[in-house]
Amino acid sequence: MDSVLQVQNLTKRYTRSHLGRTTVSRGVDDLTFSVRQGEVFGLLGLNGSGKTTTLKLILGLLFPTSGEVKLWGGPAQSGEVRKRIGYLPEVPYFYRNLTPVEVLRLYGTLSQMDAALVTSRTAEVLKLVKMDHAAKKPMREFSKGMLQRIGLAQALLHDPDFLVLDEPVTGLDPLGIRQSRELVTELNKRGKTILFSSHSISELERLAHRVAILSDGKLVRLIEESDWRDHPGRLEEIFIDTLQKSGAAL
C-alpha cells in the first residue's frame, strides 16, 4: 500500500533564551511513522506528549530541527502537496467580522480553486456541516460548536485527499460527536486518508485503523486495529500500560 505521509527521524527542539540563560526543550524526538493511503491513523497521547507539535511539523507551521516529512513522496512544503491537504485545528479561529461565505471564499481561493467551484463547493460543504442557515452571519455571533463545524467545512472545501484533524470532537455535544464520527467514516469510505489526534480513546477505537502512542515527544508504540477490535476498552488498557512502561507520569 502506498504511503501518503512519511515521517522520518523527525525531531523538534525548542531553544529559549532569557536573561542569558538558554533552555532547550524537546517537542518531538526521532519520530518515524507513515500513514498509508486510505487509512485512518490516530495519534494518542497525554497533554504535552507532542501530538500537536507533530501535526504542526507535518503542516509546516513548525520547522524540524532534523528529520524529514514527505507527502506523496515529495517535500511537505510544496504547494502542490498542500493543495491536497485539509486541516482542522483543535480550536478553529476565524475572522470575527466575516461571514462563513466570505471566509470560505478566501480559503477556496487560497487553495487555488477557481471562482465558480468555490461558490458551488461553499454551498455544498455548508450544507454538509449543517451551517447553511448561518452562511451570511458574522462569525462573532457563533458558538463554539458552530465554529467547529465551519472549521470542518473549510477543511473539506477543496476536496482534499488527506485530512489532518486535531482533536476534531473538542467542543461538540454528543450528537455533534456522533455526526463528526459518521462524517469521518463517510470520508474514509470515499478514499480520504485521515490523520487525527485525539484525547478521546473511544473515538480512536471506533475510527482508527492504526494508532501511534506518543509520550514525552517519542513514539512509544504503534498498534494495529486488530489489537483492540472486538474488545471495547482494550485500546485504553494498551495506552495506560504503554505509558507506564515508558515511565510517563500518570
Partner 1 sequence: MRGAFRFPSTRPALFLLAVFALLIGWADDRLAKAMTWRFPAVNELTVTEHYLTDVGCLLIGARRLAADVAYVQFLQYYGGSEHAEEEDEEHAGHDHGPDGVHHDGPPPAMGMEDYFKRQREHDMSRGVYPRLLELSTRVLRLDPYFNGVILEAAGALAFNQKRIDESLGLLREAIVRDPSFFRYHLYVSAILYKQKGNDPGMIALLMEAIKYPDCPPMLEMILGNLLKQVGRPLDAARVFLHTFQTAHKAHDKADALGRLKLVFSQHPDVARQIGAELPAN
Partner 2 sequence: MNRLRSIIAIARTTVIEQIRNRLYLVILFFGGLVLVATALLGALAPGHRTRVIFDLGLVTLELFGLATAIFGAVSLVLQETESKTIYLILTRPVNRSTYILGRFVGLVVAVGCTMLAMAAFHLGVLVWDMEYFREFTEGWSFATVYPMLLLMSMGKMLITAAIALFFSLFATSQVSALVFTASFWIAGHFGPELKFLIEKGSAGGPAATIAKTVASVLPNFQYFNFRDTFQLPGFSGWEFMGTAAIYCMAFTGFFLVLSTLWFSRKEF
Which ranges constitute the DSSP H helices of the chain?
51-59, 79-82, 100-110, 115-128, 144-156, 174-189, 201-207, 234-246
Kindly tell me the sign of the dihedral angle through the C-alpha atoms of 230, 184, 12, 19.
Answer: negative
Which of partner 1, partner 2, none is residue 56 near (CB under 5 to 8 Å by kind)?
Answer: partner 2
Smallest gap from Cβ 137 to partner 1, in A, equals 40
Smallest gap from Cβ 201 to partner 1, in A, equals 32
Radius of gyration of the CA atoms of the chain, in A: 19
Question: Starting from the edge strand earliest in sequence, which strands make up the sheet with 66-71, in order?
Answer: 21-36, 3-18, 66-71, 74-75
Region of 28-36, 76-84, 129-137, 231-239 interacting with partner 2 (CB under 8 A): 76-84
39 to 68: interface string for partner 2, x by CB under 8 A: -----------------x--xxxxx-----
Name which of 74 and 233 has its Cβ closer to partner 1.
Answer: 74
Smallest gap from Cβ 62 to partner 2, in A, equals 5
Name which of 110 and 123 has its Cβ closer to partner 2.
Answer: 110
Region of 15-23, 101-109, 125-133, 219-227 interacting with partner 2 (CB under 8 A): 101-109
**Rule CB under 8 A: is residue 37 a binding residue for partner 1?**
no
Taking each helix axis as running N to C, give the angle between helix 115-128 and helix 144-156, from 0 to 180 degrees, rounded to the nearest 10: 140
Region of 67-75, 91-99, 215-223, 240-248 interacting with partner 2 (CB under 8 A): 91-99
By CB neighbour count within 10 A (0-12 exposed, 13-18 middle, 19+ buried), where does 224 fall? exposed
**Rule CB under 8 A: is residue 64 a binding residue for partner 1?**
yes
Smallest gap from Cβ 8 to partner 1, in A, equals 6
Smallest gap from Cβ 78 to partner 1, in A, equals 12
Residue 202 and residue 217 in contact, taking contact as beta carbons nearer than 8 Å: no
Region of 60-68, 96-104, 177-185, 242-250 interacting with partner 1 (CB under 8 A): 60-68
What span, in angstroms and rounded, lies between the C-alpha atoms of 237 and 243? 10
* Contacts with 200 (C-beta within 8 Å, 6 or more apart), sequence order: 169
Which of partner 1, partner 2, none is residue 202 near (CB under 5 to 8 Å by kind)?
Answer: none
- Name which of 2, 6, 23, 4 is nearest 67 in CA terms: 6
What span, in angstroms and rounded, lies between the C-alpha atoms of 179 and 241? 31
CA distances from 143 to 2, 64, 162, 191 (A): 40, 35, 27, 31
**Rule CB under 8 A: is residue 67 a binding residue for partner 1?**
yes
Which of partner 1, partner 2, none is residue 97 near (CB under 5 to 8 Å by kind)?
Answer: partner 2
Backbone angles phi, psi at 131, to 5 degrees: -125, 15
* Residue among 1, 47, 63, 190 that touches partner 1 (CB under 8 A): 63
**Interface residues with partner 1 (CB under 8 A)?**
8-9, 63-68
